[in-house]
């Protein structure tokens, strides 16, 4: 059970009472209508961010799913795990989706994985049993296991790895996760249609693959552990065509489970892979059931219809389970290697002035938001590098100081106040609840906030063009490296398409320099310098808090562990049921 931070007394009591009432209403909205995971508003990417995220691809993919008739196939016995999903998956092809990974993490494997070893997240062997790296950091040679078979019975070979990389970068694929392999030599030429293959991906023999990079890339191994880098079988994937990731009968991986049925807007079923190279899982299978409403998830859990409910993506039910002693032994907790934060657009007034950005940061009582909305199940952060991520450090505290905020606003020429727009997606009551509280807090220092709600298509289109106002964002680690947080948001290109428009040429260069460093200690020191410049000096973002990841499981669920990064989507390979 996590420690709950509860602050009382002091000059904020009146504000806290108002915030409590405001949040109570917002949480009712959330429980009635349902909303995405706390971290679902940001599409996850890998080495950098992919432009053009939006709803149109998802809609098209879902129409494809709807056109596929599910084939009935029931797992043996009744040893099935039942888990909820709040939204339908567009596809389980990880090359074409950047968000929904619960199925890919269970039906595919990667060359390496990131797992917790003695309390620390480490890169461990998976499909590759060993590897070597050249002294200059350019050439990675992977030695594959020789006992791995795909669900169609095909043996894993180095050619499948080469094919997977080439398919991602083939412009005809229309992949959305191309940054996963973009650092490999010749990958960008392949994506631009200037080459017939990826020059740096070579099968040396049946069980050995050599990957050569364009330049040293420190996070490369960590990046390969992401779902986007799942390895596909050439024969099955080519035969499946555009039905790969859509039709369960032709979607093939090497993972501990294999797809069986998929009934759109109902449930997706996976069954045990008895031939899994690590040994067959203990479960007969997994049913992923569409349950958009959070209150319905709670009721189904209490009725025994769901075995696991992730409270970090069902935030309206968090307080209920935390405060109910009957469930204290059913809570599994772990750190979330991610955080909430506000992004300021430096191309828009008034946040084009660093003094205003710092004033806004000082006017927001982050602890009150954490206490009231999330039962204090987490802690404040002052950096873009949350605890649990390589390179995290003890950053300078961002104070709550309304008087100091007023002084900075006056210095910036806004002694009579100013107007500010906060943008969010329409169907996101969790974001709306926080934004309404911030709206009230900022009004106390003379900032009048308008909350602009936009549909997904408009939101992502505006964000891509760098035209969103202040926005609440969130990010969990895709791979265990500070590059995943800092490069994703603060290179010149990414700063625009993330709508922060951060302008610091030193930071741009330092981010490129850090990627090319081979010495890890030097890399981490530079990332801390970058983070200080971005958060403390430039106030490009306001970090809010890092949540404890809390999952409620039934008494009969055994050996469930929160993922190293606190993702809601996890592998259930180790889980068993003892009813």
Specify the higher pLDDT residue, 385 or 74. 385
For the stretch 350-403, pLDDT in tens is: 999 999 999 999 999 999 999 988 888 899 999 999 998 999 999 999 999 999
For the stretch 83-124, pLDDT in tens is: 999 989 999 999 999 889 999 999 999 999 999 887 788 999
Specify the higher pLDDT residue, 273 or 45. 273
Q: Which tokens go with 283?
A: 């479960």
Q: How confident is the model at residue 518 (pLDDT cuts 50, 70, 90)?
A: confident
- Bridge pairing between strands 470-476 and 418-425: parallel
At 59 the pLDDT is: 36
- pLDDT over 70, % of the chain: 87
Rounded mean pLDDT, 53-70: 37
- Residue 370 contacts by C-beta under 8 Å, 6 or more apart in sequence? 5, 376, 378, 379, 380, 544, 545
Q: Does residue 51 have a pLDDT over 60? A: no
pTM of this structure? 0.78
Q: How confident is the model at residue 28 (pLDDT cuts 50, 70, 90)?
A: very low
Which residues pair with residue 132 across a beta bridge?
Answer: 141
Query: What kind and span of H or E run contains 426?
Result: none
Give CA–CA dist 19/28, Å, rounded.
Answer: 14
Q: Does residue 22 have a pLDDT over 70? A: no
Q: Which residue has the tokens 């030599």?
A: 185
At 40 the pLDDT is: 38
At 131 the pLDDT is: 98
Q: Does residue 2 have a pLDDT over 50? A: no
At 428 the pLDDT is: 86
For the stretch 529-577, pLDDT in tens is: 999 999 999 999 999 999 889 999 999 999 999 998 888 899 999 999 9
| 220 and 213 Cβ atoms separated by less than 8 Å | yes
Residue 320, classed as helix, strand or coil, is helix
At 4 the pLDDT is: 28
Specify the higher pLDDT residue, 118 or 134. 134
Average pLDDT score, the chain: 87
- pLDDT over 90, % of the chain: 77
Q: Does residue 281 have a pLDDT over 60? A: yes
- Residue 484 contacts by C-beta under 8 Å, 6 or more apart in sequence? 46, 47, 219, 222, 389, 477, 478
Going by C-alpha positions, the residue among 31, 8, 32, 38 that lies closest to residue 20 is 8
Rounded mean pLDDT, 170-198: 96
- Residue 318 contacts by C-beta under 8 Å, 6 or more apart in sequence? 311, 312, 374, 375, 377, 550
Stretch among 4-18, 387-401, 459-473 having the lowest mean pLDDT: 4-18
User: Is the omega angle on the peptide bond into residue 350 within 30 degrees of 0, that is, cis?
Assistant: yes
Ranked by mean pLDDT, which of 308-312, 426-430, 541-545, 566-570 comes out on top?
541-545
Q: How confident is the model at residue 67 (pLDDT cuts 50, 70, 90)?
A: very low
At 377 the pLDDT is: 85
Q: Where are the alpha helices (DSSP H) in 329-482?
A: 354-363, 366-374, 402-411, 429-443, 456-464
Q: Does residue 187 have a pLDDT over 80? A: yes
Q: Which residue has the tokens 């499946």?
A: 240
Residue 422, classed as helix, strand or coil, is strand
Q: How confident is the model at residue 238 (pLDDT cuts 50, 70, 90)?
A: very high
- Residue 299 contacts by C-beta under 8 Å, 6 or more apart in sequence? none
Q: Which residue has the tokens 């987490």?
A: 378
At 25 the pLDDT is: 39
CA torsion 312-317-318-320 (nearest 10°) is: -160
Distance of CA 422 to the CA centre of its chain: 22
Helices 429-443 and 13-33, packing angle to 10 deg: 160
- Residue 355 contacts by C-beta under 8 Å, 6 or more apart in sequence? 408, 409, 411, 412
Q: Does residue 421 have a pLDDT over 80? A: yes
Q: Where are the alpha helices (DSSP H) in 219-293?
A: 220-224, 234-240
Stretch among 30-34, 146-150, 193-197, 315-319 having the lowest mean pLDDT: 30-34
The H helix count followed by the E strand count for the chain is 18, 21
At 149 the pLDDT is: 98
């Amino acid at each position: 059970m996590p420690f709950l931070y509860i602050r009382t007394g002091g000059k904020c009591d009146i504000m806290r009472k108002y915030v409590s009432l405001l949040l109570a209403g917002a949480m009712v909205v959330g429980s009635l209508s349902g909303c995405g995971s706390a971290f679902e508003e940001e599409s996850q990417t890998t080495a950098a961010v992919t432009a053009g995220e939006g709803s149109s691809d998802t809609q098209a993919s879902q129409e494809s799913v709807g056109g596929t008739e599910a084939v009935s196939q029931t797992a043996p016995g009744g040893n099935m795990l039942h888990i909820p999903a709040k939204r339908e998956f567009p596809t389980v092809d990880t090359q074409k989706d950047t968000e929904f990974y619960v199925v890919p993490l269970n039906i595919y494997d990667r060359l390496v994985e990131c797992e917790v070893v003695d309390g620390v997240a480490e890169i461990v062997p998976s499909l590759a049993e060993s590897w070597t790296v050249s002294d200059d950091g350019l050439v990675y040679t992977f030695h594959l296991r020789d006992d791995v078979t795909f669900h169609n019975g095909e043996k894993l070979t180095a050619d499948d790895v080469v094919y997977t990389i080439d398919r991602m970068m083939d412009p005809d694929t229309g992949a959305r996760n191309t940054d996963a392999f973009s650092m490999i030599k010749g990958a960008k030429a392949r994506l631009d249609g200037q080459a017939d293959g990826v020059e740096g991906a070579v099968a040396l023999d049946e069980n050995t693959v050599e990957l050569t990079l364009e330049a040293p890339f420190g996070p490369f191994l960590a990046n390969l552990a992401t779902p986007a880098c799942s390895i596909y079988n050439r024969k099955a994937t080519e035969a499946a065509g555009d039905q790969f990731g859509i039709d369960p009968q032709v979607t093939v991986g090497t993972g501990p489970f294999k797809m069986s049925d998929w009934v759109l807007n109902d449930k997706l079923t996976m069954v045990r892979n008895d031939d899994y190279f690590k040994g067959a899982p203990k479960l007969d299978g997994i049913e992923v059931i569409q349950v958009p409403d959070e209150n319905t998830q709670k009721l189904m859990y209490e009725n025994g219809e769901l075995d696991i409910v992730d409270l970090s993506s069902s935030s309206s039910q968090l307080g209920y389970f935390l405060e109910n002693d009957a469930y204290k032994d059913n809570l599994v907790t772990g750190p979330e290697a991610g955080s909430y934060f506000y992004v300021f657009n430096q191309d828009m007034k008034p946040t084009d002035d660093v003094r205003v950005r710092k004033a806004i940061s000082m006017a927001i009582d982050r602890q009150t938001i954490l206490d009231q909305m999330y039962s204090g199940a987490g802690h404040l952060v002052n950096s873009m590098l949350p605890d649990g991520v390589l390179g995290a450090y003890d950053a300078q505290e961002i104070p709550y100081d309304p008087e100091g905020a007023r002084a900075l606003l006056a210095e910036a020429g806004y002694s009579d106040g100013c107007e500010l727009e906060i943008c969010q997606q329409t169907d996101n009551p969790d974001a709306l609840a926080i934004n309404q509280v911030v709206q009230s807090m900022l009004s106390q220092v003379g900032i009048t906030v308008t909350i602009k709600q936009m549909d997904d298509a408009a939101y992502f289109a505006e964000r891509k063009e760098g035209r969103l106002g202040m926005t609440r964002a969130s990010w969990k680690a895709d791979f265990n490296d500070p590059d995943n947080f800092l490069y994703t948001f603060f290179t010149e290109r990414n700063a625009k398409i993330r709508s922060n428009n951060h302008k610091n040429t030193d930071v741009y260069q330092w981010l490129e320099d850090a990627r090319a460093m081979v010495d890890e200690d030097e890399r981490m020191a530079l990332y801390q310098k970058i983070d200080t410049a971005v958060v403390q000096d430039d106030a490009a973002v306001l970090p809010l808090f890092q949540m404890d990841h809390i999952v409620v499981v039934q008494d009969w669920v055994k050996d469930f562990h929160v993922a190293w990064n606190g993702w809601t989507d996890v592998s259930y390979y180790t889980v068993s049921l003892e009813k």
